[in-house]
């Protein structure tokens, strides 16, 4: 059983989508219940994975290896380390909440929506456990298809523009990565990531490959200046689409850096680390200011996502600087650890923020901040959750938002206090744009009769928000289990940083 646990995690939701499509055409309720069942089963399987996984060594585990295309040497090989396990659990957790969140909200072609979500879940899990570069690429790209459909069918007024931009932008980045991977294959005659990590590469080769990977993953994260698809995609996507996009899909960019850039082109990564660090700081500071100016709530959270993901890339590449230039392995470990925790925590927080906005949107059909005001007077329970997530988004200690950012800033301080100073700006700007939004939406008098007619959250919405809240608080107050899960794997990654290929 545990031998095929990863395959189960990938294929259960994908194949589970088939009965949803078949049964749900005329009976949306059947589609809802079957997809919930599949999602819960997948979540259970991911908990089993957490249980089976042995965090003490941090190596790749629970592996499977099948010869996929023998004549070319492409393998269907899967394995996970602590980081993958955490991300897989995040994925399956989010999917349940997205399906519950869409229960009545998605009224047209419900079965197709649910099926697309399940397929998306399976493919994302596949991305997190593929250890063959081509298999990774297949999942990485295939993932775009369901998301394209989700934004395009159930999205807002400019959905077609947004979804085309999303698809083409991402494809643009990844196809160059594919060329890079084929180049590596023609040298090593394998797509196995672990073997590629030991392939000697000259600095010129590494530099080209680094930019091929950077293009692919920076668009996914997204980093400045290739972030422009994200606000459009988020604003137009249905709530569930935004949640998955922010909570899981963006993490795939950060994850890609860890799996590809870091072990395969370490010297080029070190050489270009300052570039990535500067781009990350621009994301943190400049995009933070951009978020401040937004009048659309979803756009505001979308920009705040870019700023927060800046910490992920900062944490990963600051580790290079610390190991290679300062020989400070401990701080590098801290930075990398912080980046990983930031990924998971941002998954919960951004997912929760988008769910909150979805709740408001379902009632008012507007996302403009100016249309709201005094919501707390009519929706006190909702206000409770909204404030909690806003606090987490601005990095309040005691929430998971604080832990990762604080660790990254601490690590950055040991590399260069200036970097830490700029990174720490987020504590001010993040608080400013989030709390200002809360002020304008929640507090004050009820501004218009539409707001006055709003009903407080129902049991279903409460369940979704409470689940997110529990995760945010749990990992804020007691991050130890998460740290423990990933610690040894992060240690392994940090060791690889020092390994030079030239």
* CA distance linking residue 131 with residue 252, whole number of Å: 14
**With respect to other proteins, which residue has the nearer C-beta, 32 or 111?**
111
DSSP label of 456: P
Choose the stretch contacting other proteins; rule: CB under 8 A; options: 30-38, 143-151, 255-263, 470-478.
143-151
Q: Is residue 144 close enough to count as binding other proteins by CB under 8 A? A: yes
Is 152 a binding residue for other proteins by CB under 8 A? The answer is: yes
List 137, 386, 433, 468, residue binding other proteins (CB under 8 A): 137
Please report how close the Cβ of residue 76 comes to other proteins at its closest, in angstroms. Answer: 10
> Exposure of 293 by Cβ count < 10 A (0-12 exposed, 13-18 middle, 19+ buried)?
exposed
Q: CA-CA distance, 105 to 358, in Å (whole number)?
A: 9
Out of 36, 164, 431, 474, the only residue in the binding site for other proteins (CB under 8 A) is: 164
x/- letters, 166..205, toward other proteins (CB under 8 A): -xx--xx--xx-xx--xx-xx-------------------
- The set of residues, in sequence order, having a beta carbon less than 8 Å from that of 448 and lying 6+ positions away, is 371, 373
Per CB under 8 A, does 141 bind other proteins? yes
* Smallest distance from other proteins to CB 4, Å: 17
**Residues ≥6 apart with Cβ < 8 Å to 23:** 30, 31, 34, 111
Show contacts with other proteins in window 62-121 (CB under 8 A): 68-72, 109, 112
Is position 30 an interface residue for other proteins (rule: CB under 8 A)? no
Candidates 161-169, 271-279, 359-367, 454-462: pick the segment binding other proteins (CB under 8 A). 161-169
Single out the residue of 311, 312, 300 nearest to residue 423, CA to CA.
Answer: 311
Q: Which helix (H) or strand (E) holds 79?
A: strand 74-80
The answer to whether 159 contacts other proteins (rule: CB under 8 A) is yes
d(CA 58, CA 53): 9
Among 148, 289, 443, 463, binds other proteins (CB under 8 A): 148
- Who's near 229: CB < 8 A, 6+ residues apart? 162, 165, 166, 169, 170, 219, 222
Q: Which of 137/303 has CB closer to other proteins?
A: 137
Q: Which of 35, 95, 163, 242 is close enough to bind other proteins by CB under 8 A? A: 163
Peptide bond preceding 379 in cis form (omega within 30 of 0)? no
For position 296 contacting other proteins by CB under 8 A, the verdict is no
For other proteins, the closer CB: 93 or 260: 260
Residue among 145, 282, 396, 431 that touches other proteins (CB under 8 A): 145
Residue 144 Cβ, how far from other proteins at the closest point, in Å? Answer: 7
DSSP character string of 19-55: HHHHHHTT-HHHHHHHHHHHHHHHHHHHHHHHHH--T
**C-alpha–C-alpha distance, residues 174 and 253, integer Å:** 11
Please report how close the Cβ of residue 476 comes to other proteins at its closest, in angstroms. Answer: 38
User: Least distance in Å: CB of 267 to other proteins?
Assistant: 21
| Least distance (Å) between residue 269 CB and other proteins | 21
Burial of 171 (C-beta count, 10 Å sphere; 0-12/13-18/19+): middle
Q: Report the residue number, 183 or 443, with the smaller CB distance to other proteins.
A: 183
Whose CA is closest to 284, among 476, 398, 399, 428? 428
List C-alpha distances in Å: 105 to 355, 365, 466: 12, 12, 18
Residue of 41, 48, 153, 387 that binds other proteins (CB under 8 A): 153
The answer to whether 151 and 236 are in contact (CB under 8 A) is yes
Binding string, residues 245-264; x marks residues near other proteins by CB under 8 A:
--------------------
Residue from 18, 107, 160, 466 binding other proteins (CB under 8 A): 160
* Binding of other proteins by 134 (CB under 8 A): yes
Residue 250 CA to residue 243 CA, distance in Å, equals: 11
Told to check if 292 binds other proteins by CB under 8 A, we report no
Give just the sign of the alpha carbon dihedral 379, 383, 384, 389: positive
**Binding span for other proteins by CB under 8 A among 156-164, 300-308, 353-361, 364-372:** 156-164
Report the distance separating Cα 476 and Cα 468, nearest Å: 12
Q: Which residues bind other proteins (CB under 8 A)?
A: 25, 68-72, 109, 112, 134, 137-138, 141-142, 144-145, 148-149, 152-153, 159-160, 163-164, 167-168, 171-172, 175-176, 178-179, 182-183, 185-186
């Amino acid at each position: 059983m545990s031998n095929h646990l990863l395959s189960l995690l990938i294929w259960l939701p994908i194949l589970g989508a088939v009965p949803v499509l078949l049964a749900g055409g005329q009976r949306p309720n059947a589609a809802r219940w079957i997809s919930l069942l599949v999602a819960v089963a997948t979540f259970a399987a991911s908990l089993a994975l957490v249980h089976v996984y042995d965090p003490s060594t941090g190596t790749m585990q629970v592996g499977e290896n099948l010869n996929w295309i023998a004549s070319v040497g492409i393998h269907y090989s899967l394995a996970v380390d602590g980081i993958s396990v955490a991300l897989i659990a995040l994925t399956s957790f989010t999917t349940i909440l997205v399906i519950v969140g869409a229960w009545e909200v998605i009224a047209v072609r419900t079965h197709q929506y649910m099926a697309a979500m399940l397929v998306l879940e399976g493919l994302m899990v596949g991305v997190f456990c593929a250890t063959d570069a081509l298999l990774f690429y297949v999942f990485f790209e295939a993932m775009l298809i369901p998301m394209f459909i989700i934004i395009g069918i159930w999205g807002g007024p400019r959905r077609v523009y947004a979804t085309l931009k999303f698809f083409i932008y991402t494809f643009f980045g990844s196809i160059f990565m594919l060329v890079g991977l084929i180049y590596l294959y023609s040298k090593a005659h394998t797509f196995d990531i672990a073997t590629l990590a030991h392939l000697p590469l000259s600095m010129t080769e590494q530099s080209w490959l680094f930019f091929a990977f950077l293009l692919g993953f920076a668009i996914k994260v997204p980093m400045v200046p290739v972030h422009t698809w994200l606000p459009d995609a988020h604003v137009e996507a249905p709530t569930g689409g935004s949640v998955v996009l922010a909570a899981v899909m963006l993490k795939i960019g950060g994850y890609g850096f860890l799996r590809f850039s870091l072990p395969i082109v370490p010297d080029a990564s070190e050489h270009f680390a300052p570039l990535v660090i500067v781009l990350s700081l621009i994301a943190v500071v400049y995009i933070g200011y951009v978020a401040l100016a937004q009048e659309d709530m979803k756009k505001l959270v979308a920009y705040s996502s870019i700023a927060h993901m800046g910490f992920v890339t900062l944490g990963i590449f600051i580790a290079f600087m610390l190991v290679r230039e300062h020989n400070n392995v401990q701080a590098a470990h801290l930075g990398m650890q912080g980046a990983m925790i930031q990924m998971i925590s941002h998954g919960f927080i951004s997912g929760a923020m988008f769910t909150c906005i979805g709740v408001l949107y379902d009632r008012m059909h507007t996302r403009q901040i100016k249309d709201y005001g005094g919501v707390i007077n009519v929706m006190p329970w909702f206000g409770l959750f909204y404030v909690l997530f806003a606090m987490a988004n601005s990095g309040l200690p005691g929430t998971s938002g604080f832990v990762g950012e604080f660790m990254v800033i601490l690590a950055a301080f040991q590399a260069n206090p200036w970097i830490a100073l700029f990174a720490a700006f987020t504590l001010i700007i993040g608080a400013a744009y989030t709390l200002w939004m809360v002020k304008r939406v929640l507090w004050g008098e009820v501004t218009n009769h539409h707001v006055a007619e709003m009903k407080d959250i129902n049991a279903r919405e409460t369940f979704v928000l409470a689940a997110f809240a529990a995760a945010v608080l749990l990992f804020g107050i007691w991050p130890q289990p998460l740290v423990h899960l990933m610690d040894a794997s992060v240690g392994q990654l940090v060791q690889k940083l020092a390994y030079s290929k030239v």
